[in-house]
Every structure is written in structure tokens, then in C-alpha cells.
Structure 1
Amino acid sequence: MNDGTITLPWLVIRQDDNGNRYRVGRYATRAEAQKIADSLDGRGHKQLYWVERIGQNGIK
């Protein structure tokens, strides 16, 4: 990218007990996003965390 912008195409998504979904953060690489999702998931709460790329499943 020549214009100095940073692309963060990977999202960590959280779903709570009621099925509500939230964006937790945006990351440059899938590995970085997965590391965050795994660390949050390992806390033992009932929330579900996963990684999606922007543009998948209608997310923009």
C-alpha cells in the first residue's frame, strides 16, 4: 500500500449467551486475530469467539 494506510482485514467476533454478536477487534493477520480469540476463549466464559475476514458473511 503506497498511501500509508494500514489494512486490518481480520476480525475477532464474540457471541454472548443471548446470541448477540460483537466485534472485539481488527487485526492485520489471521494468526494475530486467532491468538487473541484463543486467549479470550481460554478464560472459561460462556461467550464464543471466532475469526472472520472482512467481506465474509456480509461483514464489511
Structure 2
Amino acid sequence: MNDSGAVLSWLVIRQDDNGNQYRVGKYATQAEAQRIADSLDERGHKQLYWVERIGAPAQQ
């Protein structure tokens, strides 16, 4: 939980050209996280963005 009491259960993850993965941010809903991932993906860089639920198995 953050200070507002919202549970931030969704992560946006970025993978760079070298395979390094980074957490971009935490979000309350899958839809919100997906909007962020899509907007970052539209910038045209070679990075890969996806959404994961916190506590779910990592993407391989």
C-alpha cells in the first residue's frame, strides 16, 4: 500500500537491448499499467515493456 491506501499490484517492466530488466513503476490496475507500457512502447525505442502482477512468476 502507499499513503493513499491504494494497493499497487501491477508492475511495468522494461527490458533493454542487453537483456537487463528494470521495474518502471507500480500501478493499482492492470489497465493502468498496460496504458503506461503501451505509451512507452510507442516511443519507438528497442526496449521491450510488459505488465506483471506482483507475486506472479517472472516472465522467462
**Identity value in percent:** 76
Which blocks of at least 5 consecutive residues in structure 2 are unaligned? none
Kindly indicate which of the two structures has a greater share of residues assigned to helix: 1
- Superposed structure 1 runs of 4+ greater than 6 Å apart: none
Q: Which has the larger radius of gyration?
A: 1
TM-score (norm 2): 0.86
In 2, distance between residues paired with 1:15 and 1:40? 12
Aligned to 2:16: 16
For the aligned residues, what is the CA RMSD? 1.2
Q: CA deviation at 1:6?
A: 2.1
In the comparison of the two structures, how many residue pairs are matched? 55
